[in-house]
Amino acid sequence: MNNQNQVIFFGGGNMAQAIIAGLIKCNIDKNKLIVIDPDKNKRQEIEKKFTVLAQEEIKNHEDNATFILATKPDQIPLVCEGIKGRINNQLIISIAAGVKISFIQGRLNNYDQIVRTMPNLVAQIQKSVTAAYAHPNLKKTNKALANFVLESFGDCIWVNDEKKLNAATAISGSGPAYVFLFLQAIISAGENIGLTLEESQALALKMLQGSAMFAENNISKLETLIKNVTSKGGTTDKALSHFKEKNFQKIIGNAINAAYKRAEEIGDN
């Protein structure tokens, strides 16, 4: 695998820009990156920010280029229409939530070198965890290429069933928003009990970062970790009892289930 393959983005929005930032950090030659976006302002923004080429429509490209479908899901048919005459050997990576591989394949004259993925927004700092599903006919070389691209902005977890991408959407795709909400609630609670906003932000953020890092090496022992912070009748015990009484786990479970169902609905439309 080399880092000299051309990568062409269809859609230059938040996610495409996050991925471009990741690829550039991986020393991809900027001359190999092209963004196709109808929005002139977006194209100017991208050219200024990344010094990569941004075009209104696809013009020339290399045969071994990777095409990344990064528009909103409802634009995918239009993008497929625009590229179907150009497909010969390219790897196609879709990041569009809910759009099935069969949908894309059906619009590309049955072409099957397609990977469907679910990244998340922290791709911007190369910390995305991206769930990926490969068309069963995907060539090994294309899988390696996809893995290289996806790991340029974080970790990549390959799943063996496309339906799992809906679960990944509910966990890791939407997940950063849950964490930001939790963080916001803790910061606000801190202010309510006498901390300044800055103090509460610093304490809450560092606590969350440290806890996540610690959990990384103890992920199968979360129950033990909780017990280690908790002494009977103490402060943590009080807070945990309150969470339990208010069905914290059920609230989280229901919220994630709602996201999962929505991902399924989008995929069925």
Ligand X SMILES: NC(=O)c1ccc[n+]([C@@H]2O[C@H](COP(=O)([O-])OP(=O)(O)OC[C@H]3O[C@@H](n4cnc5c(N)ncnc54)[C@H](OP(=O)(O)O)[C@@H]3O)[C@@H](O)[C@H]2O)c1
Q: List contacts with ligand X (CB under 6 A).
A: 10-16, 36-39, 42, 70-73, 75, 78-79, 95-97, 118-121, 173
Read off φ and ψ for residue 128, nearest 5 degrees: -65, 145
In angstroms, what is the minimal distance from the CB of 1 to ligand X? 24
> Is the Cα dihedral 67, 70, 73, 75 positive or negative?
negative
- Minimum CB distance to ligand X smaller for 66 or for 200: 66
Asked if 79 contacts 71 with a C-beta cutoff of 8 angstroms, the reply is yes
- Minimum CB distance to ligand X smaller for 139 or for 262: 262
Asked if 58 contacts 36 with a C-beta cutoff of 8 angstroms, the reply is yes
Which residue has tokens 């939790």?
Answer: 182
- Minimum CB distance to ligand X smaller for 50 or for 190: 50
Q: State the residue number with the nearest CB to ligand X.
A: 13
* Encoded amino acid at 52, one letter: V
In angstroms, what is the minimal distance from the CB of 231 to ligand X? 39
In angstroms, what is the minimal distance from the CB of 46 to ligand X? 9
In angstroms, what is the minimal distance from the CB of 96 to ligand X? 4
Distance (Å, whole) CA 241 – CA 74: 45
- Minimum CB distance to ligand X smaller for 82 or for 106: 82
In angstroms, what is the minimal distance from the CB of 101 to ligand X? 14
The arrangement of strands across the sheet holding 128-134 comes to 53-55, 33-36, 7-10, 66-69, 91-94, 114-118, 128-134, 154-158
- Minimum CB distance to ligand X smaller for 40 or for 221: 40
